[in-house]
Amino acid sequence: MTEEEFKAFDEDFEVCLCNGVSLGEILTSIKNGNDTLEALMDDTDAGTTCEECQSKEIDVDGDKELHLDEILKFSKNI
């Protein structure tokens, strides 16, 4: 994923379907200091159920469009 592709996602985009966590909620959590995967998961519950939204490596079927590790990577440039 490129930074341009990441920026095309709306903050209402649901990253974690299992727990209903949006991109906006994740970005707010990161801005509040939860800038590691573990801290982000603890704060938002994203990625804690099926775990596929954590990374492409876990999402072996490619079901998710956006992953937490990508959000952490690109959010540093927002």
The band of 72, judged by pLDDT with boundaries at 50, 70 and 90, is very high
| Whether the predicted pLDDT of 77 surpasses 70 | no
Span 14-56, pLDDT tens digits: 999 999 999 999 999 999 999 999 999 999 999 999 999 999 9
> Which structure tokens are listed for 56?
């492409």
> Which structure tokens are listed for 43?
């704060």
* Structural domain for 71, as ranges: 3-75
> Which structure tokens are listed for 39?
């801290």
pLDDT for residue 76:
79
- Overall domain count for the chain: 1
Which CATH number is 33's domain given? 1.10.10.1100
